[in-house]
Amino acid sequence: MTTNTTKPRPKTDKPRSARRRFSNPVPMEGENGVFSQTWFPVALSTEVEKGKVVGCDFLDGRIIIFRGDNDKVAVMSAYCPHVGADLSVGTVVGDRIECAFHKWQFDQKGWCIQTGVGDPPPPTACLYEFPVVERYGIIWAFNGEEPLWELFDFEFDDSELSFSSFKTDTYTCDPWIFAANTPDVQHIKAVHGIRFNSDDPHEIVEWERYGFRMQVDAIHQKGEELSWNVGIRGTTTFIQEGLVNGWWMGVAAGFSCPRPGTHEVYVCIAVKRGDGSTEANKLSEERLAFGTELLARTAVEDKPILDRIHYNPGTLTKGDATLARWLDIVRAYPRAHPSKDFIN
Positions in 196-255 near ligand FES (CB under 6 A):
none
Cβ proximity to ligand FES, 104 vs 154, nearer residue: 104
Piece of the chain touching ligand FES by CB under 6 A; list 69-77, 94-102, 162-170, 234-242: 94-102
Q: Measured between alpha carbons, how far apart are the two ends of the chain, in Å?
A: 51
Q: Of these, 50, 52, 72, 102, which contacts ligand FES (CB under 6 A)?
A: 102
Q: Of these, 2, 46, 83, 206, which contacts ligand FES (CB under 6 A)?
A: 83
Helices (H) and strands (E) in the chain, counts: 5, 20
What are the percentages of helix, strand and coil residues in the chain, rounded to 5? Answer: 20, 35, 45
Q: Does 240 bind Fe ion (CB under 5 A)?
A: no
- Select the binding partner of residue 181 from ligand FES, Fe ion, none (C-beta < 5 to 8 A, by kind): Fe ion
Q: Of these, 78, 99, 127, 230, which contacts ligand FES (CB under 6 A)?
A: 99
Beta strands in 20-60 (DSSP E): 35-36, 39-44, 53-58
> Closest distance between Fe ion and the C-beta of residue 295, in Å?
11
Beta strands in the chain (DSSP E): 35-36, 39-44, 53-58, 61-67, 73-77, 91-93, 96-98, 105-106, 112-114, 132-135, 138-142, 161-171, 195-196, 206-208, 211-219, 225-233, 237-244, 247-255, 263-272, 335-336
Q: Is 88 in contact with 58 (CB distance < 8 Å)?
A: no
Q: Is 226 in contact with 243 (CB distance < 8 Å)?
A: yes
Q: Does 181 bind Fe ion (CB under 5 A)?
A: yes
Q: Does 89 bind ligand FES (CB under 6 A)?
A: no
Cβ proximity to ligand FES, 65 vs 194, nearer residue: 65
Positions in 103-122 near ligand FES (CB under 6 A):
104
Pairing between strand 39-44 and 35-36? unpaired
Q: Does 85 bind ligand FES (CB under 6 A)?
A: yes
Piece of the chain touching Fe ion by CB under 5 A; list 74-82, 128-136, 153-161, 176-184: 176-184
Interface with Fe ion (CB under 5 A), residue total 2
> Closest distance between ligand FES and the C-beta of residue 55, in Å?
14
Report the alpha-carbon distance of residue 193 to residue 222 in Å, rounded: 9
List of residues contacting ligand FES (CB under 6 A)? 80, 82-85, 99, 101-102, 104
| Residues forming the site for Fe ion (CB under 5 A) | 181, 302
